[in-house]
Amino acid sequence: MAKVEGLYARGTSAGLLQNPLGIPHDSASRSATQLLPLGFRAIDEAGNEYTYVKAGAAINANDAVKLNGSALGYDDVQVTTNDDEVLFGVATAAFTIAHYGFVQTRGVVTCKVIVATAAGSALVPGATDGTLKLAVAASLPGKGAIALVTGVAAGSAIHLF
């Protein structure tokens, strides 16, 4: 059984997260039924952090996502759509509208990045839905993201911090 501290739980094997009851939960699984408290955070063996949310719209795998809606925001997560939005994390698997699951909020993950973004570049949400782009001095990120490889629209390795 994984050690649970507050809202955090450590994974017991690659790709699995541990919930407070000690039942493994795949970070890529989705459900029409809420299985954990919204905002629940879990960490896998690699140290990547995930947050349990509800999708407010359809979300594709590797899309950059934002909090939207209520004061808590975890009940209406949507893809980023404008370059003035704050990055929350990345959907590691697709969501159907109104389904529950985890989005990755820290660590190394694949995300859609506008092409020609150099490795080591700071990234912020782009104007194309679900993508990240090169950050400029005027666009200070609310959440940090760095390109680990040259950006590719289909998905590139980034580091969320």
Predicted pLDDT of residue 55: 96
Predicted pLDDT of residue 47: 85
pLDDT tens-digit map of 105-161: 999 999 998 876 788 888 889 889 999 888 875 555 556 787 877 766 667 787 787
Greatest distance between any 2 Cα atoms in the chain? 46
* Residue range(s) defining the domain that contains residue 35: 4-160
pLDDT tens-digit map of 47-73: 889 999 999 999 999 999 999 876 667
Backbone φ and ψ for 122, nearest 5 degrees, come out as -75, 140
- Residue 25's pLDDT band (boundaries 50, 70, 90)? low
Predicted pLDDT of residue 4: 28
The single residue listed with the structure tokens 């039942």 is: 23
Residues, the chain, total?
Answer: 161
Q: Is the pTM of this model over 0.75?
A: yes
Give the count of domains, the chain: 1
Does 30 score more than 70 pLDDT?
A: yes
Give CA–CA dist 29/6, Å, rounded: 23
C-beta atoms surrounding 30 within 10 Å? 16
Predicted pLDDT of residue 20: 53
Element (DSSP H or E) covering residue 19: none
Q: Taking Cα atoms as reference points, which of 76, 73, 114, 107 lies closest to residue 92?
A: 107
- Residue 75's pLDDT band (boundaries 50, 70, 90)? very high
Highest mean pLDDT among 6-15, 84-93, 118-127: 84-93
Predicted pLDDT of residue 79: 95
